[in-house]
Amino acid sequence: MVADIPAGRQLTLPVGLADCSDFENFHLPTQTPAGAAGRQGAALALQLLQSLPAAAAPRQVHLYGPDGCGRSHLLQAACRAMGAGARYLPLHELAALGPQVLQGMAGAPLLAVDDVQAIAGLADWEQALFAAYNQQREGGGHWLAASTSAPANLPLGLADLRSRLQWGTVIGLQPLTDADLWAAFVERAQRRGLAVSPRALQHLQLHAPRDPARLFTLLERLDALSLAARRPVDWPMVRELLAQGAEPTVAAPPAHTGRSR
């Protein structure tokens, strides 16, 4: 991902899309009376973002919700589906680089700005994001954004930016329930062709982290261990891995789509 910088310089941003973030492995909450609102919001977001590549007119969508609700997954999946030229900007990672990283980003077929709350209250960043928003609209490209709170509730000092972020469709997302989280885990394992024994799954359910990002990183490590050991994921493997403590972050794990074992 490259931004145009004045004086002929170019800045390469240390940002990539996680290989596991696509529409196919986005888990919709189960249809239950208690989870109806969560499923409705997630289904609407999925439908809108999947339709972006074929949309005749530019669209604007803002997703919000607490960590673990899937907002970053959906933004990255939308960029992957849009293909070449789509740009994903996770502001929590880029904030330390300064607002100049936004220069030249607008005008893409799709601009996806994640974690808007990370720059709330920073006047220079807010001005730069406002400028990028206006340039994106003038260029006729799609605009996606995401944050932990609804745009109206973000502590933004620039009222015009808050107003613009509320245009288009604003969708609230909810974290997966415990049952849906484990259903998503099993779906991802099956998609990889990764066999997990019932006892191993039970041990994970008792002792593994409930945070989706950490849990799916754990799945990455189990997949690697299973390949190295040439055996399915069993209870000793899970117990040994969890005993090692905090799992390292896997920023962009290799894609697996039903590899034979």
Structure tokens at 198: 């019932």
- CA nearest to 172, candidates 156, 148, 155, 153: 148
C-alpha distances out from residue 259 to 149, 190, 238, Å: 39, 10, 20
SS3 227: helix
pLDDT of residue 156: 97
The CATH number of domain 178-243 is 1.10.3470: no
For tokens 């191993």, what's the residue? 200
pLDDT of residue 248: 40
pLDDT of residue 143: 97
Measure the CA angle with vertex 239, ends 237 and 245; round to 5°: 110
pLDDT of residue 3: 35
Contact of 38 with 124, CB cutoff 8 Å: no
pLDDT of residue 2: 33
- CA nearest to 166, candidates 174, 154, 175, 176: 154
CATH code reported for the domain at 2-172: 3.40.50.300
Residue 22: DSSP 8-state: S
Domain spans of the chain?
A: 2-172, 178-243
CA 18 and chain centroid, separation: 8
- Looking only at Cα atoms, what is the longest distance across the chain? 60
- Residue 250 and residue 171: Cα distance in Å, rounded? 28
Number of C-beta neighbours around residue 46 at 10 A: 18
User: For every one of its 261 residues, what pLDDT tens digit does the chain have, with 9 covering 90 and above?
Assistant: 333 323 333 334 444 545 467 898 888 877 655 556 677 899 999 999 999 999 989 999 999 999 888 999 999 999 999 988 899 999 999 999 999 999 999 999 999 999 999 999 999 999 999 999 999 999 999 999 999 999 999 999 999 999 999 999 999 998 888 888 888 888 888 888 888 999 999 999 999 888 888 888 898 899 999 989 899 999 999 998 998 864 443 333 333 323 333
